[in-house]
């Protein structure tokens, strides 16, 4: 059996939903379909919530949101399901209005309230899509996607979620099954949570892994995984195949095609992923599996993470490189901060690594605590932070066999007048990454993409 996930643009309009319907209705009844909110709706739900908190006219926005759902129900939901779908979606729209009303009255938008508001996107799209597809059987993902608190984040409780998914889909033949992605419920408090922006991919992966699916199909609005973001590189190439590791690296370093945590659960079960285009369903797409096709495509792509912060430890540190790096890395990990680039030590024993700018405050505290003895005895002069940067990554399992590849990348940057502020230590065989000023992001991607493709 296959698990299919349709993103926002795929479920955004009457026309795109007709494509979804014909794709799903051509498949066996044991198919599971995971859907996002209508395209752009999550952003709009958030913007309207902020508007309500500021005392703005949220009612006009709420009316437009309602109208968009009603048009799709009217045009596409099967006649025998129309009334029940209208009832369900109508009461969710009432809940949305009441919540906005409350936000507007108190003039504040607590995080938990925002979680409830954004959840309504998928809570409405799922019954609509179930009502469009012949024999569509609706499942409430809040019943089986459970999260736990990890620092200030909500992360999936993988084993509880797996057990609940197996129970929920026990009658797998009686589908096709439809459920909302992204949304979840806190296993302890019962509060509505979510898996993070773009998280519907992850919901689909958790279901595919729990049910031992044959394939996870991510249906989106491009022909497959490309060598760069097609919005930046107009002639980016669609890759026929890549390995799990390569896709994981590309997505971790900013390729928006798949939400990064998605890959691990299916990789673990060796379930291949296909990236397919809802608007061009006969295109072959990209197959992500344990094979890399490294001969044909040694390099798979160039990506960027904006909002990078470079952390520098400078001073007369006597401890070895590995020791310092490990201590910094562990101190950050204990505080929920991930490091996406460890740089080669600089000339005057400067250690630097890249983190997300959003983690700067937590990182400052964690590193000052960890290195307090060195800061006091003078072995460490300072811990400094530089924002306004981007991390660029070049990914491919064949990269390690290319002669002098790091030098070629650095020379190319130089020719384009771009100065890397830090380069990865080469701790991954698959990825070479470096940090540049944010203003050089597009220039660096273009230069490196031109070098390899």
> Which residue ranges make up the site for Mg ion (CB under 5 A)?
7, 198
Which option in Mg ion, ligand ADP, ligand ASP, none does residue 169 bind, with CB closer than 5 to 8 A by kind? none
Surface-to-core class of residue 125, CB atoms within 10 Å of its CB (0-12 exposed, 13-18 middle, 19+ buried): buried
CB 261 within 8 A of CB 247: no
Closer residue to ligand ASP in complex, CB, 127/198:
198
User: Least distance from C-beta 194 to ligand ASP, angstroms?
Assistant: 8
CA distance 276 to 3: 13
User: Least distance from C-beta 74 to ligand ADP, angstroms?
Assistant: 24
Which option in ligand ADP, ligand ASP, Mg ion, none does residue 121 bind, with CB closer than 5 to 8 A by kind? ligand ASP
180 touches ligand ASP (CB under 6 A): no
Four-point Cα dihedral 335, 258, 32, 74, nearest 10 = 110
Residue 218 tokens read as 């991510």
- How many Å is the maximal CA-CA distance in the chain? 77
Q: Which residues of this chain interact with ligand ADP, rule CB under 6 A?
A: 7-10, 36, 198, 220-222, 225-226, 228-231, 255-257, 301
Closer residue to ligand ASP in complex, CB, 205/239:
205
Closer residue to ligand ADP in complex, CB, 231/403:
231
Residue among 2, 16, 19, 42 that touches ligand ASP (CB under 6 A) = 42
CA distance 89 to 92: 5
Binding-site residue total for ligand ASP (CB under 6 A)?
12
CA distance 185 to 85: 23
Which option in Mg ion, ligand ASP, ligand ADP, none does residue 265 bind, with CB closer than 5 to 8 A by kind? none
199 touches ligand ASP (CB under 6 A): yes
CA distance 374 to 306: 31
Residue 63 tokens read as 């009316």
Residue 241 DSSP symbol: E
Residue among 121, 131, 265, 272 that touches ligand ASP (CB under 6 A) = 121
Closer residue to ligand ADP in complex, CB, 220/289:
220
User: Least distance from C-beta 222 to Mg ion, angstroms?
Assistant: 11
* Strand pairing class (146-150; 153-156): antiparallel
User: Least distance from C-beta 124 to ligand ASP, angstroms?
Assistant: 11
Q: What are phi and psi of 425, to 5 degrees?
A: -75, -5
User: Least distance from C-beta 373 to ligand ADP, angstroms?
Assistant: 44
Residue 226 DSSP symbol: B
CA distance 8 to 72: 14
Closer residue to ligand ADP in complex, CB, 99/203:
203
Closer residue to ligand ADP in complex, CB, 9/289:
9
Terminal-to-terminal C-alpha distance of the chain: 36
Q: Which residues bind ligand ASP (CB under 6 A)?
A: 7-8, 36-37, 42, 121, 181-182, 197-200
């Amino acid at each position: 059996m296959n698990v299919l996930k349709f993103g926002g643009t795929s479920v955004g309009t009457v026309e795109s939903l007709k494509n979804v319907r014909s794709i799903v209705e051509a498949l066996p009844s044991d198919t599971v379909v995971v859907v996002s909110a209508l395209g752009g709706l999550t952003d709009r739900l958030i913007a309207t919530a902020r508007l309500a908190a500021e005392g703005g006219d949220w009612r006009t926005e709420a009316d437009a949101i309602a109208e968009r759902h009603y048009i799709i129900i009217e045009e596409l939901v099967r006649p025998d399901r129309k009334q029940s779908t209208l009832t369900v979606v109508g009461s969710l729209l009432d809940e949305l209005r009441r919540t906005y009303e409350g936000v507007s009255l108190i003039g504040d938008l607590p995080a938990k309230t925002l979680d409830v508001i954004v959840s309504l996107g998928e809570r409405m799209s799922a019954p609509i899509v179930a009502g469009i597809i012949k024999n569509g059987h609706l499942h409430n993902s809040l019943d089986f996607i459970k999260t736990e608190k990890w620092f200030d984040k909500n992360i999936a409780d993988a084993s509880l979620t797996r057990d609940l998914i197996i129970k929920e889909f026990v009658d797998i033949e009686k589908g096709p099954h439809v459920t909302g992605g992204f949304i979840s419920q806190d296993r302890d408090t019962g509060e509505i949570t979510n898996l993070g922006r773009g998280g519907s991919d992850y919901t689909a992966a958790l279901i595919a892994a729990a049910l031992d699916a044959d394939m996870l199909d991510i249906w989106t609005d491009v022909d497959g995984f490309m060598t760069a973001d097609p919005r930046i590189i107009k002639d980016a190439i669609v890759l026929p195949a890549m390995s799990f590791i390569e896709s994981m690296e590309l997505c971790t370093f900013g390729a928006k095609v798949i939400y990064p945590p998605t890959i691990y659960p299916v990789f673990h079960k060796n379930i291949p992923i296909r990236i397919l285009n809802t608007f061009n369903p006969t295109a072959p797409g990209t197959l992500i599996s344990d094979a890399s096709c490294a001969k044909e495509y040694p390099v798979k792509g160039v990506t960027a993470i904006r909002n990078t912060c470079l952390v520098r430890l400078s001073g007369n540190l006597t401890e070895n490189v590995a020791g310092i790096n490990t201590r910094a890395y562990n101190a950050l990990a204990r505080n929920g901060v991930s490091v996406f680039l460890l740089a080669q030590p600089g000339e005057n024993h400067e250690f630097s690594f890249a983190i997300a700018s959003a983690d700067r405050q937590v990182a400052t505290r964690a590193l000052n605590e960890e290195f307090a003895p060195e800061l006091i005895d003078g072995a460490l002069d300072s811990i400094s932070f530089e924002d306004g940067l981007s991390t660029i990554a070049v990914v491919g399992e064949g990269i390690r066999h290319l002669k002098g590849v790091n030098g070629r990348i650095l020379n190319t940057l130089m020719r384009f007048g771009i100065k890397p502020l830090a380069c990865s230590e080469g701790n991954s065989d698959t990825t070479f990454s470096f940090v540049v000023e944010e203003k050089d992001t597009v220039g660096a991607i273009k230069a490196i993409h031109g070098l390899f493709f």
